[in-house]
Amino acid sequence: MAIALSQVPAKDFGILAGLAPQRPEIDIHALERHILVAQRRVRAGQRVYCGGQPFHMLYLVRAGFIKTCELSADGRERISGFRMQGDLIGAEAIGLTRYPCDAVALEDSTIWELPYPAMLDACRRLPELETCLTAALADEIRRDRVWMLNIGTLPADQRVAMFLLDLARRHAQLGFSSRHFILRMGRSDIASFLALTHETVSRALSHLEHLGHVLVHRRDVRLLDVVALSQFAGATTALN
């Protein structure tokens, strides 16, 4: 279903609408002349796009949770990230003709489809849009770099602690509670992302609970002592 951009609240555009105060505001009415946005609902387990599919769209997560993943040489799924409200997905395909990975909904989600050739043309005509899109892509690069360093250098328990702190920070940025949230992904998905085993993730959560830093019941997570949890994580590079 195509929807006029002028009818979409700015907050629903997340990064593209300039959530960060240092980024310029986008003239939605000017943007509307260049891009036709379609809203799409994706059921849990359904793919937004598949690896190898021709690249024609960027997507903005309006609601829900999406994981990006690809198959390893031995056929196992490897998760490269978790995207939530306000996150841009599909950007990894820029410069390619096809998507290099899958994007799968972890729960019923709503996304905005942003035609990429039209986005590129709009960026040429609207410098503020180009600034916001470039900043969003730079954020993703920095984020991926930090996780690569953390996964490569931190012990298992600290990786899990960092993962929980990152989710808490992202929830807080959206105006939700940073102390109490529901994990939208299972232990196996977390393990894949952190390059651990399912059992190791479960043991790490139990250890953090034993220390009094968190309280975990299935997918319900409460951070009881954020300061102590941050000190335990001990990462030298903060997540941005």
pLDDT of residue 155: 94
pLDDT of residue 21: 40
pLDDT of residue 8: 59
> CB burial class (10 A; 0-12, 13-18, 19+) of residue 132?
buried
Domain 2-137 and domain 154-233, same fold? Reply is no
Question: How confident is residue 4, by pLDDT bands cut at 50, 70 and 90?
Answer: low
Q: Which fold has domain 2-137?
A: Jelly Rolls (2.60.120)
pLDDT of residue 232: 94
- On the question of pLDDT at 127 being above 80, the answer is yes
- For the entire predicted model, the pTM comes to 0.84
Query: Among 3.40.50.970, 3.60.20.10, 1.10.10.10, 3.30.70.1070, what is the CATH number of 154-233?
Result: 1.10.10.10
pLDDT of residue 131: 82
In the chain, the amino acid numbered 56 is H
Average pLDDT in the chain = 85
User: Domain spans of the chain?
Assistant: 2-137, 154-233
pLDDT of residue 22: 47
* CA torsion angle 218 220 225 228 (round to 10): 50
Mean pLDDT to the nearest integer, 21-27: 52
pLDDT over 90 percentage in the chain: 54
Alpha-carbon span 165 to 140, nearest angstrom: 17
Lowest mean pLDDT across 4-18, 63-77, 139-153, 183-197: 4-18
- Tokens representing 128 are 């503020």
Mean pLDDT to the nearest integer, 176-201: 96
What are the CB-based long-range contacts (under 8 Å, 24+) for 201-209?
201/156, 201/160, 203/156, 204/156, 204/157, 204/159, 204/160, 204/161, 205/160, 207/157, 208/157, 208/160, 208/161, 208/164, 208/232
Question: How confident is residue 11, by pLDDT bands cut at 50, 70 and 90?
Answer: low
**125 Cβ contact partners less than 8 Å away, ≥ 6 residues apart:** 30, 34
- On the question of pLDDT at 24 being above 50, the answer is yes
**Which is higher by pLDDT, 57 or 76?**
57
